[in-house]
Amino acid sequence: MGFFGRIREDVSSVLERDPAARTWLEVVTCYPGLWAVWFHRISHALWKAKLRLPARMLSQIARFYTGVDIHPGALLGPRLFIDHATGVVIGETAIVGSDVTIYQGVTLGGTGKGHGKRHPTICDRVFIGNNANVLGNITVGENSRVGAGSVVLSDVPPNSTVVGVPAHIVYRNGNRVLITDPHDIKDPLSDALIALSARVDELEHRMGAEPCVEPFAEEEADRSAYREELDRQAGYVSMGEGI
């Protein structure tokens, strides 16, 4: 597909994905995330032609106008949509699949260690919420979603939702994933939680208490009741009005 054919495809995909987008003219003139992708196509061609300095200079001009810093060496798939644009950084060895959506402030970066492939691979149809950081040579699987503000440091399986710092899975293949083993959290408090839960186990054992068959069952029941309550009040609590 030619340069202009791909532009047409980009604009259509924004119209499909962003409910705020109304017309072709609006998308072409008001979406700096798209301009950044278009600039990148030229700077990437220069990069491949070994015109490294002009490629980098063009990517910096693009950054000035769009707020998006994409290294010309990065490989971007078709129909990438960078919504709101500002503050997005995509590193040199990042690979982005097709139909990926990225919000403002996202970094697809290195961890600062090592050379070679040091940036993430983002598979097809991944959604990355605003200000999320995906760091290192890791892979985010197809159809997965990364929550706003998350810091992803290890591979994300396909069809999953991850949130938090560092990120952990909350949904997989449409099913809610509850963390029952503190080892799965991997944040600086994990060790303290693991020591605490071992201590609780030991105390329960000494007291002869029944082991907890379904940990977090009560908490999950509370959450479900709360969600049902919100659903009942749907007329009063809607997106953006809850807080």
Ligand X SMILES: CC(C)(COP(=O)(O)OP(=O)(O)OC[C@H]1O[C@@H](n2cnc3c(N)ncnc32)[C@H](O)[C@@H]1OP(=O)(O)O)[C@@H](O)C(=O)NCCC(=O)NCCS
Point out which residues bind ligand X (CB under 6 A): 84, 103, 129-130, 145, 147-150, 161, 163-164, 170-171, 223
Q: How far is the CB of 202 from ligand X (least distance, A)?
A: 27
Q: Which is nearer to ligand X, 120 or 129 (CB)?
A: 129
Q: Which is nearer to ligand X, 18 or 124 (CB)?
A: 18
Chain-centre distance of CA 8, in angstroms?
Answer: 25
**H or E stretch including 110?**
none
Residue 182 near residue 224, CB atoms below 8 Å: no
Residue 156 near residue 146, CB atoms below 8 Å: yes
Q: Which is nearer to ligand X, 181 or 201 (CB)?
A: 181
Q: How far is the CB of 98 from ligand X (least distance, A)?
A: 20
Residue 20 near residue 37, CB atoms below 8 Å: no
Q: How far is the CB of 77 from ligand X (least distance, A)?
A: 20
185: left (phi over 0), alpha (psi -120 to 50) or beta: alpha
Residue 77 near residue 101, CB atoms below 8 Å: no
Q: How far is the CB of 48 from ligand X (least distance, A)?
A: 32
Q: Which is nearer to ligand X, 28 or 170 (CB)?
A: 170
